[in-house]
Amino acid sequence: MAPSRLLPRPLMSSEQRKAFPFSEFEPKWQGEWEASKAYRTPNPGDTDFDASKPKYFVLDMFPYPSGNGLHVGHPEGYTATDIIGRFKKMNGFNVLHPMGWDAFGLPAEQYAIKTGTHPRVTTEANVANFTKQLKSLGFAYDWDREVNTTDPGYFKWTQWIFLKLYNSYVGDDGKAHPISELEAQGLSRVEIDHRRLAYVSEAPVNWCPQLGTVLANEEVVDGKSEVGGFPVERRPMRQWMLRITAFAERLVKDLEGLDWPDSIKLLQTDWIGRSEGAFVDFEIVHSRSVVVNTQWHPAGSQVVPSNSPLPLHLDPIRVFTTRPDTLFGAEYVVLAPEHPLIAQMLGASVIPTQWPTGTPDSWKGTNENVRDPYNAVSAYCTQASNKKERDRLQEGGKTKTGVFTGVYARNPVCPTKLIPIWVADYVLVGYGTGAIMAVPAHDDRDFEFAQKFELPITQVVQPSSGQNWQGYTGEGIAMNSDFLNGLPTPEAKKKIAAWLEEQGLGKGTTNFKLRDWLFSRQRYWGEPFPIVWENGQHRGLAESELPLLPPTLEDFKPTGTPEPPLSKATEWVQYSATAKRELNTMPQWAGSCWYYLRYCDARNSERFVGEAAEKYWMGGGKPGGVDLYVGGTEHAVLHLLYARFWHKVLFDLGYVSTPEPFQRLVNQGLILGEDGQKMSKSRGNVVNPDDVVREYGADALRLYEMFMGPLEQVKPWSMKGVEGVYRFLARVWRLVMEVDDEGAWSLSKALQDVPANKQLTKALHETIKKCGEDIEKLSFNTAISQMMVCTNAFTGAEVKPAAAIVTFLKVLSPFAPHLAEELNAQIRSKFPALAAKRFLSDETWPAYDPAALIEDEVEVVFQVNGKLRDKARVPIAATKEEIEKIALASARVQEFMDGKPAKKVIVVPGKLVNVVV
């Protein structure tokens, strides 16, 4: 028989295993905070609102409540903002720190398709789960301000803002104005529809058959949908667009005044892609205009006259270029395959049915069977339009293809010089004018193309330093350029732009990469458009008809055609005998474009946000209203750009008081799995916050996430690290509590109402100082290590001074609010005068005493030639001369001076002495 002690022992209750009873007091305090509405934030107009306090609006990117629940990445940013919010509150600010749900979106809809469960049901369940999880972490949110984008009381205003966009245009001042101004000017319906910020377009879009919806360019990655990775094809469809491009200039410029990381500003700037240049018009010389000899063509051929008697007017080819100074080097013109002029030229038989005499074979395209330009061009264009975006990029990488149209254009600076017009898909229809002038000598792409297709390459820029001019794209001195010769690039640009304008051949202009925002989706679970169609025309609903609820549908499946699922709600669709509703819904971005505004006044049923509330919470004299916005980098471009756009429209129309929404932005870094890989189910390295809370408590989770490293950095998870901060919290617990004879926790006898000694006082005040500074800088990891140092100092003391420990708990409370609150309450039971009366969050952040930080003596290091050789403690008040004397007297210093005289002695008081020999 085995000795009894080797038998499995009865399982200890989990309470006994715990180093401190967090699982008891954490829910207890959460309950108390909730019951007493400890974190309710009064609004202007409320009886308990104190207008004398400054405001601090600290915002998290609100989550999509997925079925998977919270992952450890969520609490990273949320804890950071929670600490800041609690800290600011203790420093006398009115703090707005809300939470809500970005709950429209594809997963709930796809789940509905699979199971038949209505997305509203799924969403409600997920929100309930997320709420429970977030509450278990003790965040100081004002839950009375919770918003949910799928709540009719919320999306009523999303629809309302859409109507504002629909009923606005951008004037010459670059600002949004009500469309009524145009009506007053007597503009026609068509003209007005052309100016609206929300307009209908037939442009080719990214259609994803599997998802049954179109996607914005930004939602397509490598020709596949960002969600799900399904193939995406291009097809023309009628869609709602938002005219964000009208704000491109301001969206770049206004970044200046924001406290955002430079890298994020750069990302947005690059995305918007502003470039200055000029439009230049190239007249198309064709058989139905005037016949002109080609000057330079290798075969010296002529454009073949057709037998068509009627002259035909064709608009010139307008190109955009950032290098108008190289116009003399333009050797050919390229149209994007989708360029409207191509269809026009094909239709009007401008593109000939025979290659001009002497056309090199390389110009005739790759299709062997096509023997004439007409068919070569149409074949090339068909092929290009069928190609998915992905193939255009992937197919042979970036090898250039193209075909000569058989038609020539006139170079405006050199009317006798005719240059061939090509079609090639390296020119994108969506950028600039969809056409370019090719200057092979000074553009990489044109250079590559010209080499491949044996087109002439003429130097027009002399590089400043002796680089090879072929393919030189930098600035230099103009040459072979008539009246530009000898001018440096910037001057040449100015001169040619002025000349073009004078001649009516072109115009200086600014262009952007940014395209208008494709705003409609063929989905069920999104905001319906407040639009009806009658007699082929759209019209906005009256405000009084909002919110427009989605129809109740049993069948959410995509129709398999571009017809949205809402078409299945036949009754709902029929607005009146003659009018039908718009069937598209808004994209998920819509709700997140303005949620921060709703938080200011979440229950207002009269207005999207009350005026006084908006002025107070979003005001403050800075361009951005939200004081701190924390979220992931994945939203660095889209969400932030869209929200800024909407905000500017609302600002122009006078609905909000700042031109920008977010003043300070911080991106938290991704948390990786313990294996250093991205957390994912398939890798099996996902950490569930619920498990961490169960094992170590919410405070330990919060603290660990902040202790891991700098907030912005990508960092791997470590359960051992969680244990480390858990042990720290247990040490704090034992400063106050000890196990009594019954094995229960009771107040420590070492805890006494005595003043702290000099050493402890210093440690405490250093901690107050450093933590305050570090919280402002969001350097939570170093703040925590300072609290550890402080705790270690207190642990080493025989007697624990109660008042000093309460002060310490105040500093700890933003980080570990439950433990701090519990220990404060424990101390209050014996020392009511020393502890906080109610909650620590009601207390004032302690002030540090600079005098407590100063010591009588400091350690000064002595260097010889920059190398550390000796140290000594010297009085803090010692003069430079005295310190120098002490240093030179040091035996070690003398030894390393090796008898040589000191050439120079640098003395940094309180720090070091460096003797140079």
Partner RNA sequence: GCCGAUGUGGUGAAAUGGUAAACACAGCAGACUUAAAAUCUGCUACAAGGAAACUUGUUUGCCGGUUCGAGUCCGGCCAUCGGCACCA
Interface positions, 701-720, toward RNA (CB under 7 A): 707-710, 713-716, 718, 720
Q: Going residue by residue from 773 to 812, which x/- string records binding to RNA, judged by CB under 7 A? A: ------x-xx-xx--xx--x--xx----------------
679 touches RNA by CB under 7 A? no
125, 573, 750, 861: which one contacts RNA (CB under 7 A)?
A: 861
The residues in 748-767 that bind RNA, with binding defined as CB under 7 A, are none
291, 299, 393, 799: which one contacts RNA (CB under 7 A)?
A: 393
428 touches RNA by CB under 7 A? yes
Q: From the CB of 784, what's the least distance to RNA, in Å?
A: 7
E-state strands within 439-583: 461-463, 476-478, 506-512, 517-518, 531-534, 537-540, 579-581
> 786, 766 in Cβ contact below 8 A?
yes
Q: From the CB of 673, what's the least distance to RNA, in Å?
A: 13
> 513, 273 in Cβ contact below 8 A?
yes
451 touches RNA by CB under 7 A? no
Q: Going residue by residue from 339 to 378, which x/- string records binding to RNA, judged by CB under 7 A? A: ----------------------------------------
Of 567 and 685, the one with the shorter C-beta distance to RNA is 685
Q: From the CB of 18, what's the least distance to RNA, in Å?
A: 10
**Tokens 């001018």 correspond to what residue?**
487
Percent of the chain as helix, strand, coil, to the nearest 5: 40, 20, 40
> 280, 336 in Cβ contact below 8 A?
no
Interacting stretch for RNA, rule CB under 7 A, among 52-60, 455-463, 518-526, 904-912? 904-912
Among candidates 271, 264, 269, which has minimal Cα distance to 633? 264
Q: From the CB of 384, what's the least distance to RNA, in Å?
A: 10
136, 511, 663, 807: which one contacts RNA (CB under 7 A)?
A: 511
Q: From the CB of 241, what's the least distance to RNA, in Å?
A: 17
321 touches RNA by CB under 7 A? yes
Backbone phi, then psi, for 751, in 5-degree steps?
A: -75, 120
Q: How far apart are CA 406 and CA 613, in angstroms?
A: 65
The residues in 615-644 that bind RNA, with binding defined as CB under 7 A, are 633, 637
Of 568 and 769, the one with the shorter C-beta distance to RNA is 769
Q: How far apart are CA 357 and CA 302, in angstroms?
A: 8
Q: How far apart are CA 140 and CA 96, in angstroms?
A: 10
Task: Name every residue whose Cβ is closer than 8 Å to that of residue 231 and which is 6 or more positions away in sequence.
Answer: 208, 209, 210, 223, 224, 225, 388
263 touches RNA by CB under 7 A? yes
Of 95 and 711, the one with the shorter C-beta distance to RNA is 711
**Neighbouring C-beta atoms of residue 759, cutoff 10 Å:** 12
443, 582, 627, 695: which one contacts RNA (CB under 7 A)?
A: 443
Task: Indicate the helix (H) or strand (E) that contains 375.
Answer: helix 373-386
908 touches RNA by CB under 7 A? yes
71, 494, 513, 830: which one contacts RNA (CB under 7 A)?
A: 513
472 touches RNA by CB under 7 A? no
892 touches RNA by CB under 7 A? yes
Q: How far apart are CA 319 and CA 282, in angstroms?
A: 8
Among candidates 767, 851, 868, 856, which has minimal Cα distance to 813? 767
- Cα separations (Å) of 689 from 309, 681, 711? 80, 15, 18
Of 20 and 39, the one with the shorter C-beta distance to RNA is 20
Of 319 and 569, the one with the shorter C-beta distance to RNA is 319
Burial grade of 627 (CB within 10 A; 0-12, 13-18, 19 or more): buried
> 622, 557 in Cβ contact below 8 A?
no
11 touches RNA by CB under 7 A? no
Q: From the CB of 93, what's the least distance to RNA, in Å?
A: 25
> 678, 71 in Cβ contact below 8 A?
no
509 touches RNA by CB under 7 A? no
216, 336, 671, 819: which one contacts RNA (CB under 7 A)?
A: 336
Of 277 and 801, the one with the shorter C-beta distance to RNA is 277
Q: How far apart are CA 251 and CA 269, in angstroms?
A: 8
The residues in 19-38 that bind RNA, with binding defined as CB under 7 A, are 19
Q: From the CB of 568, what's the least distance to RNA, in Å?
A: 34
Coil, helix or strand at residue 374: helix
103, 725, 827, 834: which one contacts RNA (CB under 7 A)?
A: 725
Of 473 and 604, the one with the shorter C-beta distance to RNA is 473
Interacting stretch for RNA, rule CB under 7 A, among 114-122, 166-174, 857-865, 874-882? 857-865
Task: Name every residue whose Cβ is closer than 8 Å to that of residue 657 and which is 6 or more positions away in sequence.
Answer: 614, 615, 618, 619, 625, 651
229 touches RNA by CB under 7 A? no
Q: From the CB of 515, what's the least distance to RNA, in Å?
A: 8
Amino acid at 243: R
900 touches RNA by CB under 7 A? no
425 touches RNA by CB under 7 A? yes
Q: From the CB of 265, what's the least distance to RNA, in Å?
A: 10
Q: Which residues of 371-402 are buried (b: 16+ CB within 10 A; e: fewer)?
A: eebbbbbbbbbeebeebbbbebeeeeeeebbb
144, 181, 191, 270: which one contacts RNA (CB under 7 A)?
A: 270
The residues in 111-150 that bind RNA, with binding defined as CB under 7 A, are none
Q: From the CB of 650, what's the least distance to RNA, in Å?
A: 27
The residues in 233-252 that bind RNA, with binding defined as CB under 7 A, are none
Q: From the CB of 242, what's the least distance to RNA, in Å?
A: 18
Of 69 and 632, the one with the shorter C-beta distance to RNA is 632
Site size toward RNA, by CB under 7 A? 80
DSSP string for 651-690:
HHTTSSS-SEEESBEEEPPPEEPTTSSBP-TTTT-PPPHH
Of 20 and 111, the one with the shorter C-beta distance to RNA is 20
724 touches RNA by CB under 7 A? yes
668 touches RNA by CB under 7 A? no
265 touches RNA by CB under 7 A? no
Q: Quote the distance between the C-alpha of residue 161 and its chain's center.
A: 22
262 touches RNA by CB under 7 A? yes
Interacting stretch for RNA, rule CB under 7 A, among 532-540, 581-589, 723-731, 742-750? 723-731
Q: From the CB of 838, what's the least distance to RNA, in Å?
A: 30
> 804, 778 in Cβ contact below 8 A?
no
Task: Name every residue whose Cβ is closer than 8 Å to that of residue 415 and which is 6 or more positions away in sequence.
Answer: none
DSSP string for 59-73:
EEPPPP--TT---TH
Amino acid at 184: A
Of 189 and 867, the one with the shorter C-beta distance to RNA is 867
Q: From the CB of 300, what's the least distance to RNA, in Å?
A: 29
Alpha helix positions (H), 167-279: 180-184, 189-193, 248-253, 262-272
Q: From the CB of 611, what's the least distance to RNA, in Å?
A: 38
Q: From the CB of 254, what's the least distance to RNA, in Å?
A: 20
Q: From the CB of 435, what's the least distance to RNA, in Å?
A: 7
Q: How far apart are CA 92 and CA 71, in angstroms?
A: 33
169, 279, 426, 651: which one contacts RNA (CB under 7 A)?
A: 426
Task: Indicate the helix (H) or strand (E) that contains 117.
Answer: none
Q: Which residues of 495-534 are buried (b: 16+ CB within 10 A; e: fewer)?
A: bbbebbeeeebbebbebbbbbbbbbbbbbbbbbbbbbbbe
120, 400, 495, 830: which one contacts RNA (CB under 7 A)?
A: 400
